[in-house]
Amino acid sequence: MASKKTVTLDNLMALGPERLAAILVELANGDAKVKRRLRLELAARTGGDTIAAETGKRLTALRSSRSFINWQKRRDFVKDLDLQRAIIVDRVAQTRPDLALDLMWRFMDLAEPVLNRVDDSNGSVGGVFRAACEDLGTIAAKAKPNPLNLADRVLAAVQANDYGVFDGLVTVMLSALGKAGAVHLKERLRTVLADRAGKPGERNYHALVVRTALQALADGQSDVDAYIALVPPEERRMPHQGAEIGRRLLAAGRAAEAIAALERARPKRSATKAARDDDIHLIGLAVDDAWEATYIEALEATGRQDKAQQLRWAAFEERLSADRLRAYLKRLPDFDDVEAEERAMRHALGFRSFAAALDFFTGWPDQARAAQLVLARASEIDGNLYYLLDPAARLIEGKHPLAATLLRRAMIEDTLEGAKSTRYKHAARHLLECQSLLAGIQDFGTCETHEAFLIRLRARHGRKTGFWSQVGEVTER
């Protein structure tokens, strides 16, 4: 049971309304954000018109502000920004959807000036505007504005989408646009696209945005041919475009045409890519993966299950695709899948890239084989791949402490050899984790003992005081 001094809903309610109101007034007098929130709550009690007016004032203030918002102020700013969005959706739109629609358009108009003066390195500010774009469709469906006027407003937004906050706008607006609005929007988009196509050198981002909007309309109307017609012929041979076209043809029940479109866009595996496949970043590129997934689906839709299975196994053999292996095993008869899985695990243990193999066993997951891989191929561990080694070590440390220790030692040594001071605190933590695993290691075999590893670290990196001070700090905790 929580202490009576803990700030919980029940404990605060026990103070009584008068005492709470007095505290809030006191806080509001010293904090503009608290005061602004209380004003909004009071306005909400008087109806949608009043709170809409209050929200409008805040939007005006946000638009007129010019001060830069750094990362330290960003969190509070995002909370305030999202509060305005939520008030429009949850309060104003419930009783006055017409006012809410106008306010949300005004809110979206803040995107450019706000993003120009904020450090949005983590994307949180843009995320608020993308959420608001989704809200626009919901509010417009309630408000039922004139469909032609709405289409014109959507067109203007699409053309001003420099920051990507209106991505998906056409899709969310389809319901509110209705047939008349969709037809009007399509005509206007076609005119804009034709105008840009007639100007050499201007086939740029803005033309792509207009084309994407037209494709969204085609998708909304289940018009596959209209979607395909908007893809330039030369682009239809690109794997990602072939996958998009193939996926839509499959959904329309046109599997044979999907196969033909995918065949025309078959990825061309270059020698350079093949040489780089050992890098874990490049194994199973998303574009090729999307094409492959759609092609396999199309093969099954046309009754070529054996060919689909061959491609699934080939994808696993080539790049250890866990998704393809799972799909392959799922389609095998009982007992055959057990033998095939064992064969797959042997292949993964001997795979050319240690990093890719460890990533596979971590994601599968298979603790025993991940540990087996580490112990057998310890010399191949790349300590710089901390984002792979750390989760793998955590996965196997319970039953395989020696293998987990080797992964952590690799990260420690890579950090110290490269004098990567920003990672010192993590390396110190890894060293402490190695210490904590000692009790579970009965025999180090041919590996260094923990004491020998420490002695070598001291001898080689004793002057890296930043690291050793971090070791002292984590040890004392």
Q: Residue 383: exposed, middle, or buried by beta-carbon count in 10 A (0-12, 13-18, 19+)? A: buried
165-191 burial: b if 16+ Cβ within 10 Å, else e: bbbbbbbbbbebbeeebbbbbbebbee
Closest CA to 168 of 204, 131, 221, 200: 131
Give the distance, in angstroms, between the CA of residue 434 and the centroid of all CA atoms in the same chain. 32
Q: Is the Cα torsion angle 234, 240, 241, 245 positive or negative in sign? A: positive
Closest CA to 415 of 355, 352, 461: 461
Q: At residue 69, what are phi and psi to the nearest 5 degrees?
A: -110, 110
The structure tokens listed for 473 are 């700090």
- DSSP assignment, residue 90? I
- Give alpha helix (H) positions in 235-302: 239-251, 255-264, 271-276, 286-301
Rounded to whole angstroms, how far apart are CA atoms 251 and 273?
32
Q: Which residue has the tokens 């809030």?
A: 24
Q: Residue 198: exposed, middle, or buried by beta-carbon count in 10 A (0-12, 13-18, 19+)? A: exposed
Q: At residue 118, what are phi and psi to the nearest 5 degrees?
A: -130, 145
Q: Which residue has the tokens 């929200």?
A: 55
The structure tokens listed for 233 are 């012929």
Q: Which residue has the tokens 């080539």?
A: 318
3-state SS, residue 220: helix
3-state SS, residue 118: strand
pLDDT at 281 (0 to 100): 43
Rounded to whole angstroms, how far apart are CA atoms 164 and 162?
6
Rounded to whole angstroms, how far apart are CA atoms 451 and 458?
11
Per-residue pLDDT of the chain (477 residues), as tens digits, is: 557 667 777 777 877 887 777 777 777 676 666 666 666 666 666 655 788 888 899 899 989 888 998 888 888 899 999 999 999 999 899 989 999 999 999 999 999 999 999 888 889 999 999 999 999 999 999 999 999 999 999 999 999 998 889 999 999 999 999 999 999 999 999 999 988 765 555 447 788 889 999 999 999 999 999 999 999 999 999 999 999 999 999 999 999 999 999 999 999 865 444 444 444 444 444 458 999 999 999 999 999 999 999 999 999 999 999 999 999 999 999 899 999 999 999 999 999 999 999 999 999 999 999 999 999 999 999 999 999 999 999 999 999 999 999 999 999 999 999 999 999 999 999 999 999 999 999 999 999 999 999 999 999 999 999 999 999 988 877
Rounded to whole angstroms, how far apart are CA atoms 221 and 243?
20
Q: At residue 4, what are phi and psi to the nearest 5 degrees?
A: -65, -15
- The C-alpha R_g of the chain, in whole angstroms, comes to 30
Rounded to whole angstroms, how far apart are CA atoms 46 and 95?
11
As a residue count, the chain comes to 477
Rounded to whole angstroms, how far apart are CA atoms 110 and 407?
48
Give the type of residue at 303: G
Element (H, E) at 397: none
Rounded to whole angstroms, how far apart are CA atoms 281 and 276?
9
pLDDT at 390 (0 to 100): 97
Peptide bond into 365 cis (omega under 30): yes
Report the DSSP beta bridge partners of residue 69: 118
SS3 content of the chain, % helix, strand, coil (to 5): 75, 0, 25
Report the DSSP beta bridge partners of residue 118: 69
The structure tokens listed for 257 are 């045409």
pLDDT at 476 (0 to 100): 73
pTM: 0.79
Judge whether 115 and 126 are in contact, CB under 8 Å.
yes
Q: At residue 437, what are phi and psi to the nearest 5 degrees?
A: -90, -5
Q: How many CB atoms lie within 10 A of CB 290?
A: 17
Per-residue CA distances from 63 to 56, 81, 381 (Å): 11, 12, 52
3-state SS, residue 6: coil
pLDDT at 44 (0 to 100): 61
Q: How many CB atoms lie within 10 A of CB 60?
A: 12
Judge whether 182 and 221 are in contact, CB under 8 Å.
yes
The structure tokens listed for 431 are 């060293």
